[in-house]
Structure 1
Amino acid sequence: MNNQTPQQPEPTIPTVRIIKPHQFDANTAQTPGMQRVAAVSRELAGSQSIWGGITIVSPNTASGIHHHGEIETIIYVVSGHGKMRWGNNMEFEQEVEPGDFIYVPPFVPHQEINPSPDEPSQWVIVRNSQEPIVVNLEPFDTTKEKGNADTHNTR
């Protein structure tokens, strides 16, 4: 008769992941006029149900009009000033500045804008899904505010 208690395996402790800027992944769904870069994803961090990334919106740039399907989005303005436009006809607009959080509900058409002639704006984006849902809507008029994905960067 064995009086020893069987040894229980130690519980697995989830690993905290640090993702450095050089590890960010630009291979994610995009919108004209902006470039999203993944920082937290299943591939980069092993996340299960959230996605996080950044975009640096270059001066005098507007994204294309888009929505993210059933996904909720939180945006945090880190630096620079900008505008957020939304609505079925882009009838709503509000200025944003560093420290502002923006909540974008599912299926809401919207557009990120940096009207500054010389100041970039960095925005952190968090979504409640791993799915890269981006529904780009037409038309995208680059004559109102220049959209140029080549001028975006991640540093």
Structure 2
Amino acid sequence: MRSLANKQTVVAVRPDRETMTRQRLPYFTGISGDTAGSTGISMHMVVIPPGARAEPHSHAGYETAIYVLEGRVETRYGEDLAESVISEAGDFLFIPPSVPHEAINLSATEAARAIVARNDPAEQDRVVPYQKRMV
């Protein structure tokens, strides 16, 4: 952890390893409270392996903005994940606070990559697993 106690400075971060998230997807941690001393934002690169999907989840009390760099990703969202949107390279996606969702890489052969920004410097602390209702 980086301690920047009351010191304002510019911080450059080069991710040196992937981290498995609570969503069960690999992240390359960029900007966070731990890496840069940020107090209101985090920004990372997520990689969704070919054919993989995130565990259904929500982010308690904070927003998510996504920019897709490579690939095609279906995001199922809402109650019982009944709604869907497909994003591809060059698309932005906004997910409001506490909306359940899961991301699915639509390619069986190529990874999807995206930059993810959230208005929480320790966003993994408030990832909430989501269970669809049994019908």
The TM tier, using the shorter chain, reads 0.7 to 0.9
User: TM-score, normalised to structure 1's length?
Assistant: 0.73
Spell out, residue by residue over 1:29-77, the C-alpha distance to the aligned partner (whole angstroms, 9 max, x if none): 5113x12332101121121110111111011111111000111010110
For residue 81 of structure 2, give the secondary structure of its aligned residue in structure 1.
coil
Q: Distance in 2 between matches of 1:119 and 1:25?
A: 18
Matched residue pairs, number?
125
Is the contact made by 2:62 and 2:120 (CA closer than 8 Å) also made in structure 1?
Answer: yes
Structure 1 residues 51 and 94, CA gap change in structure 2 (3 angstroms): same
Q: Read off the aligned partner of 2:131 and give its amino acid letter.
A: E
Q: Distance in 1 between matches of 2:127 and 2:54?
A: 12
Spell out, residue by residue over 1:115-143, the C-alpha distance to the aligned partner (whole angstroms, 9 max, x if none): 2110110011111012321001236xxxx
Aligned CA-pair RMSD:
2.0
- 2:50 aligned residue: 59
Query: Residue 25 of structure 1: CA displacement?
Result: 6.5
Q: Distance in 2 between matches of 1:46 and 1:25?
A: 20
Q: Distance in 1 between matches of 2:89 and 2:11?
A: 26
Query: Residue 20 of structure 1: CA displacement?
Result: 1.1
Is the contact made by 1:25 and 1:39 (CA closer than 8 Å) also made in structure 2?
Answer: no
Establish whether residue 18 from structure 1 lines up as the match of residue 12 from structure 2: yes
Percent of paired sites with the same residue = 29
Structure 1: runs of 5 or more not aligned: 1-11, 140-155
- 2:129 aligned residue: 136
Query: Residue 94 of structure 1: CA displacement?
Result: 1.3
- 2:61 aligned residue: 70
- 2:74 aligned residue: 83
Is the contact made by 2:18 and 2:26 (CA closer than 8 Å) also made in structure 1?
Answer: no
Structure 2: runs of 5 or more not aligned: 1-5
For residue 36 of structure 1, give the secondary structure of its aligned residue in structure 2.
strand
For residue 13 of structure 2, give the secondary structure of its aligned residue in structure 1.
coil
User: TM-score, normalised to structure 2's length?
Assistant: 0.83
